[in-house]
């Protein structure tokens, strides 16, 4: 798990050590209800003193009796027995496609026991299992507070601000990576604080390191000022198809002339032929003037779902000429 959230709740002196209860999680973990694997799961940590620098970082209690679903406000309680008890508020997990390891407990307030401190054992590393999504792709309901954790330049008021802005694409891709989707992700819809991010696993898709010059050689209009526009979308999709994939999108990251794109195979994606008439019927602001605008991303996402119940989402308009357009659709319920 990537380092991120560590929210301490209570401390207790046991013998010569100080014990801490905490809720921990990845960078995507804002609160116990965040859509993030292992978010605010409980940990008990030990330190030789309460003010030691990073004192609680290297001694984590190993216990098969600590529940893995989100929780908060775990407090030590004195019972008169030799066992160490605590009270806490547990929540149902907000799934991002991976199954939490056992044990899991129903949402409620509880008083629970950690057992006797004499039997405690500690590790210097966090052994919590990494996320492993069951499906190749998922459309996740998130919010901008979570997305911006990964790149603060992603602006809620204008996620796709212009045709070379990839901040929200990059932050979405980084969020997906933390959740176990190694091939990328993209923001496909939003309203106020709420957003929809489609994440893609690496079993049926591939992140590719490429160059802007490679894309410009395919489509001369693909330049640094059109990274998020039709010419570069067409070039990236054509490049992916030339390597045996069904299609592709991006860039999901860019630094100077270096690009990272995502290529998807036919198991998880399909190119559908449509029109701007059909796209604008879903989102009136979608037009050929800017094919990767927020309106067109949302239109493509909704249109794929309308075309077939087998489609989960879209990676956008990949090509167009006049009123004709090609849309990359992402399939759902493909095992990961």
Q: How far is CA 110 from CA 67, 75, 93, 113, in A?
A: 11, 11, 16, 10
How far apart, in whole angstroms, are the C-alpha atoms of residue 207 and residue 202?
8
Q: What is the mean pLDDT of residues 70-85?
A: 91
What does the pLDDT look like over 20-34, one tens digit per residue?
A: 999 999 999 999 999
What's the rounded mean pLDDT across residues 288-315?
97
The whole-angstrom separation of Cα 260 and Cα 172 is 14
Greater pLDDT, 6 or 323: 323
17-25 and 41-47 beta bridge pairing: antiparallel
Q: What is the pLDDT of residues 92-103, one digit of tens each?
A: 999 999 999 999
Q: Look at residue 3 in the predicted model and tell me its pLDDT.
A: 58
The structure's pTM equals 0.94
Q: For 271, which DSSP code?
A: E
Residue 298 burial (10 A CB sphere; 0-12, 13-18, 19+): buried
**pLDDT greater at residue 330 or residue 83:** 330
Looking at the chain, the whole-number percentage of residues with pLDDT higher than 90 is 87
Q: pLDDT digits over 218-274, tens only?
A: 999 999 999 999 999 999 999 999 999 999 999 999 999 999 999 999 999 999 999
Instruction: Please give the mean pLDDT across all residues of the chain.
Output: 94
**For the purposes of burial, counting CB atoms within 10 Å of the CB of 57, is it exposed (0-12), middle (13-18) or buried (19 or more)?**
middle
Across residues 104-117, what is the average pLDDT? 95
pLDDT tens, position by position, 278-297: 999 999 999 999 999 999 99
Contact 138, 73 (CB under 8 A): no
Q: What is the mean pLDDT of residues 105-133?
A: 94
Beta-sheet strands, E only, within 71-183: 71-77, 83-90, 108-116, 121-123, 137-143
CB of 170 within 8 A of CB of 252?
Answer: yes
Note whether 116 and 84 are within 8 A (CB): yes
Q: Taking residues 53-72, what's their average pLDDT?
A: 91
Question: Within 62-133, where are the H helices?
Answer: none
Residue 15 has pLDDT above 60, yes or no: yes
Instruction: For the chain, give the number of residues.
Output: 336
pLDDT range class, residue 55, cuts 50, 70, 90: confident
> Tell me, what's the pLDDT at 64?
85
pLDDT of residue 106: 97
pLDDT band at 332 (very low <50, low <70, confident <90, very high): very high
Does the pLDDT value for residue 1 go beyond 50? no
Nearest to 45 by CA among 87, 74, 69, 70: 74
173-209 pLDDT, tens digit each: 999 999 999 999 999 999 999 999 999 999 999 999 9
Residue 2 has what pLDDT? 41
């Amino acid at each position: 798990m990537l380092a991120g959230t560590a929210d301490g709740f209570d401390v207790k002196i046991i013998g010569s050590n100080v014990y801490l209860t905490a809720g921990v999680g990845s960078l995507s973990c804002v609160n116990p209800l965040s859509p993030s694997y292992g978010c605010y799961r409980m940990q008990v940590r030990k330190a030789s003193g309460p003010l030691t620098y990073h004192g609680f970082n290297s001694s984590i209690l190993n216990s098969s009796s600590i529940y893995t679903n989100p929780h908060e406000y775990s407090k030590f309680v004195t019972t008169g027995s030799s066992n160490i008890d605590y009270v806490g508020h547990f929540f149902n997990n907000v799934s991002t496609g991976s199954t939490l390891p056992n044990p899991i407990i129903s949402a409620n307030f509880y008083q629970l026991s950690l057992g006797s401190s004499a039997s405690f054992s500690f590790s210097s590393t966090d052994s919590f299992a990494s996320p492993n999504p069951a499906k190749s792709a998922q459309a996740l309901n998130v919010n901008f507070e979570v997305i911006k954790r990964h790149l603060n330049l992603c602006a809620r008021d204008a996620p796709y601000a212009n045709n070379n802005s990839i901040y929200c694409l990059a932050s979405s891709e980084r969020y997906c990576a933390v959740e176990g989707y190694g091939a990328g992700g993209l923001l496909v819809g939003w309203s106020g604080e709420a957003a929809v991010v489609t994440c893609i696993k690496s079993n049926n898709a591939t992140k590719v390191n490429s160059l802007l010059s490679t894309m410009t050689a395919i489509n001369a209009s693909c330049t640094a000022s059109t990274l998020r526009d039709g010419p570069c979308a067409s070039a990236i999709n054509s490049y992916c198809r030339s390597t045996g994939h069904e299609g592709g999108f991006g860039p999901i990251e860019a630094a100077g002339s270096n690009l990272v794109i995502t290529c998807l195979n036919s198991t998880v994606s399909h190119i559908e032929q449509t029109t701007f008439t059909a796209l604008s019927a879903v989102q009136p602001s979608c037009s050929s003037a800017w094919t990767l605008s927020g309106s067109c991303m949302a239109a493509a996402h909704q249109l794929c779902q309308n075309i077939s119940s087998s489609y989960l989402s879209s990676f956008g308009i990949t090509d167009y000429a006049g009123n004709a357009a090609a849309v990359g659709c992402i399939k759902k319920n493909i095992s990961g």
